[in-house]
Amino acid sequence: MSPPAGLTRRAVMEGGVAVAGAAALAGPAEGAGGRGDRLWYQQPATAWTEALPVGNGRLGAMVFGGTAQERLQLNEDTFWAGGPYNPVNTDARAALPEVRRLIAAGRYAEAQTLANERVMARPLKQMPYQTIGDLLIDRAGAHASAAVSGYYRELDLDAAIATTRFTADGITFERQVIASPIDQVIAIRITASRHGAIDIDLSFRTSQASRVVATDRQLSLQGTGPDRLGIKGALRFAVQLRVLPVGGRVIAARDRLQVRGSDEVVLLLAMATSFRRFDDLGGEPGSIVAGQLDRASRRPFADLSRDATSAHRQLYRRVRLDLGTSDATALPTDRRIVAAQTRDDPGLAALYFDFARYLLICSSRPGTQPANLQGIWNDSPDPPWDSKYTININTEMNYWPAEVAALPECVEPLVAMVRDLAVTGERTAREMYGARGWVAHHNTDLWRATAPIDGAQWGLWPTGGAWLCMHLWDHYDYGRDRAFLASVYPLMKGAATFFLDTLVTDPATGRLMTSPSLSPENAHPMGASICAGPAMDQQILRDLFDRTARAAAILNTDADFAAEVTAARARLAPDKIGAQGQLQEWQADWDAGAPEPKHRHVSHLYGLFPSEQIDMDATPALAAAARRSLELRGDESTGWATAWRAALWARLRDGEHAHRILRFLLGPGRTYPNMFDAHPPFQIDGNFGGARAMAEMLLQSRGDDILLLPALPSAWPTGSVSGLRARGRCRVDLNWRGGSLREVVLTADEPGERVVRYGTTRQTVQLLPGTPVRLSAAELTGA
């Protein structure tokens, strides 16, 4: 599915957009969202990783649910430090030939030292994503110090509403928080069970350079983004809070507002920056937020909430997963996470899957920035790893569930970022490598920096942009929109062209390899990370060259170029099996001597997942070697790395092993009380990777083959899933009982033949657009 025509960030900010393609991918009927679709707690959050996230793709808030003081920690997706910059090292182009020569001579440590001195970006790091600060709602007046009882807070994933409720002095207070993708505001409604009982003080708290102005019923915060690493903070930002009370009065008191004696209060919060594009900061944030508030203020909260929920449900309700229930559903979510380590709770896995879909919808909508390392939620001006885009696995993992879980619109921000990177990456390719095409290394930021950062041992890895191109292909392959493919083919061609210009020939074998490069983010036993032709690069380039040539054929264009990349693909160094029976991570059999044998990255297994190059049926020897590598690397790692391992075991069709890893991922060591993934600290990729691993356990599609329940664990003996997508615009609904498939329903949007596989059986099915094909287990197996 292609992005909506003419969709821009301005269209999003100036009033929201309708969700594209909702009708075509509509899921279960209204009312399908059950009370299992919620996180709930019996106490307020005392830590950020206990607070509950709301978001509309552009705006995010973490809701703490306090009683004496409510805190909403605020984010706007374009609020980053610094400004436009070009980090390419002017010495790099002259130094690279010597770096390659040292690598070819086996002098890896010297090559790495030289690269650090003369090749790496200036500055050596990129710009961090920022927090705006906090909106504080303090309980005031006669009830401010009253004891609280009957406390409850929840996040309704189906309605996208965070609710807090408690009783003080016999009065029940309730707060509801939404982040509207339609009206582009965060809206809070505060109610009380007694007339005139709402007394609150409202204020902003921020570490950013800013000023606060309180006027009649409005609180305004304006400022500029911070400098970093010699890059001047160029963004201007504005936040406005508008107070709409029912009864009572509002008093402006210097830098805060006081509400006294109100029956009900609606708070509307708008945020914006001057960002338009990575090279255009000409927006007027004050005018933008004022316009948003003017429009939203004309609508009652019930309408704002209804429309926001409707827009959310158009996406969220496309997929429904039921893995069974247990009495654990009666536990608050934080206690349930702890209890799941000693008892089976299949419903918790389903909740984790639903939460990941919720997070993707809330952090990545058409016209917004892509989900970063923390999605959209970050409470620090100096977050871990700068909360940017790490494109050697983490950003890609954020989007692993999108296509299969029927959220193709959520991929649009990633596609838009690749379009930007092709612009800045062309400059990097030319200035740094003297090459055509475009390149992006292992990280980028709002300013779309593409030069290698952090240090040669981590950042001198040239295939980040190539990997992102695989998401362009997958977006096409699931949706089969030829116009979309035509729009992104130049990006794929540009990425492939760069490697045609920069691959080196191994004199011993005549094979083509990348150099310099590394296997993210691992060191080999030769005293460095830098090397030539790590397995992951070779696998990514096989995919890039293959998909580019296939796209050219589909579009009936560039036959000569397609032939060139096909020929180059045939010359790439192949995967190798080492002395331990493992899939080699490097060209030499260095795995056994690597300084971190349990390293979090399993980069050399890209060919097994997310790629399809290594397959149980087509390449059994390589699949066995990948299995051995997983055994040697171990099951337990950081949050995202654990999720990747679960997906890899699912591709090996070992449901018990995949589930064992998933159970660890969902435990208190890797899942915070609010269900955020713990690297630790928080990184959102584990949530998304874990969801994709679960989808892989239930459904895999490869070309026109559809594998049903390929890795179903015994812990999920009975269940159902509806709305998953296979490649080729095909919806898959299936249910099972006693560990065995009962029925599958396939509904395609385009005609074609599919091979449905269940266990060792295969059946060819002809599909017509919009005509469901229902197959029982007996029909599939002939039993």
Mean pLDDT score, 671-684: 97
Task: Please tell me whether residue 752 adopts helix, strand or coil conformation.
Answer: strand
Nearest to 178 by CA among 78, 289, 304: 304
Encoded amino acid at 761, one letter: T
The answer to whether the CB of 421 falls within 8 A of the CB of 469 is no
Give the per-residue pLDDT at 780: 87
The pLDDT confidence band at residue 7, using thresholds 50, 70 and 90, is very low
Q: Which residues contact 202 (CB under 8 A, 6 or more apart)?
A: 135, 136, 137, 138, 219, 241, 243, 256, 257, 258, 259, 267
Domain boundaries, the chain: 9-81+128-316, 92-122+378-621, 719-781
CA dihedral 281, 416, 515, 113 (to 10 degrees): 30
Cα separation, 511 vs 570, whole angstroms? 9
pLDDT in tens, 551-573: 999 999 999 999 999 999 999 99
Query: For residue 31, is pLDDT > 60?
Result: no
pLDDT in tens, 357-367: 999 999 999 99
| Tokens standing for residue 243 | 């107070």
pLDDT in tens, 450-496: 999 999 999 999 999 999 999 999 999 999 999 999 999 999 999 99
Give the per-residue pLDDT at 625: 98
Cα separation, 243 vs 230, whole angstroms? 39
Encoded amino acid at 279, one letter: D
Number of H helices, E strands in the chain: 20, 29
Nearest to 132 by CA among 285, 357, 328, 287: 285
Encoded amino acid at 387, one letter: S
| Tokens standing for residue 21 | 């393609």
Query: For residue 699, is pLDDT > 80?
Result: yes
The answer to whether the CB of 307 falls within 8 A of the CB of 180 is yes
Task: For the full predicted model, state whether its pTM sits above 0.75.
Answer: yes
pLDDT in tens, 625-640: 999 999 999 999 999 9
| Tokens standing for residue 48 | 């950020």
Show the beta-strand stretches assigned E in 247-344: 249-253, 256-262, 264-273, 320-322
| Tokens standing for residue 362 | 């809330």
Question: What is the per-residue burial (b if ≥16 Cβ within 10 Å, else e) of 701-725?
Answer: bbebbbbbbbbbbebbeebbbbbbb
Nearest to 72 by CA among 214, 215, 196, 221: 221
Nearest to 725 by CA among 475, 364, 548: 475
The answer to whether the CB of 401 falls within 8 A of the CB of 371 is no
Beta partners for residue 265, in sequence order = 190, 245
Nearest to 360 by CA among 317, 408, 410, 307: 410
Nearest to 608 by CA among 635, 583, 572: 583
Cα–Cα distances (Å) from 294 to 220, 269, 394, in that order, read 14, 11, 38
Query: For residue 30, is pLDDT > 60?
Result: no
Give the per-residue pLDDT at 3: 37
CA 201 to chain centre: 36
Query: For residue 181, is pLDDT > 80?
Result: yes
Give the per-residue pLDDT at 142: 78
Cα separation, 684 vs 390, whole angstroms? 12
Average pLDDT taken over every residue of the chain: 94
Give the per-residue pLDDT at 9: 54
Locus of tokens 């991922």:
665
Query: For residue 59, is pLDDT > 90?
Result: yes
Give the per-residue pLDDT at 341: 87
The answer to whether the CB of 188 falls within 8 A of the CB of 163 is no
Give the per-residue pLDDT at 344: 85
Cα–Cα distances (Å) from 629 to 408, 601, 624, in that order, read 32, 12, 9
Tell me which DSSP letter residue 429 carries. Answer: I
Cα separation, 697 vs 471, whole angstroms? 21
Nearest to 180 by CA among 160, 166, 153: 160
Task: Please tell me whether residue 430 adopts helix, strand or coil conformation.
Answer: helix
| Tokens standing for residue 497 | 């062209």
Q: pLDDT exceeding 90 applies to what percent of the chain?
A: 92
Give the per-residue pLDDT at 14: 55
Encoded amino acid at 432, one letter: M
Domain 92-122+378-621 is found in CATH 3.40.50.920:
no
Task: Please tell me whether residue 579 adopts helix, strand or coil conformation.
Answer: coil
Encoded amino acid at 186, one letter: I
639-651 and 655-665 are packed helices; what angle lies between their axes, rounded to 10 degrees?
A: 170
Give the per-residue pLDDT at 4: 37
Locus of tokens 């709409």:
244
- Residue 115 belongs to what H/E stretch? helix 108-118
Is residue 181 exposed (0-12), middle (13-18) or buried (19+ Cβ within 10 Å)? buried
- Match domain 9-81+128-316 to its CATH number in 2.40.30.20, 4.10.410.60, 2.60.120.200, 2.70.98.50: 2.70.98.50
Pairing of strands 752-758, 705-708: parallel
CA 776 to chain centre: 35
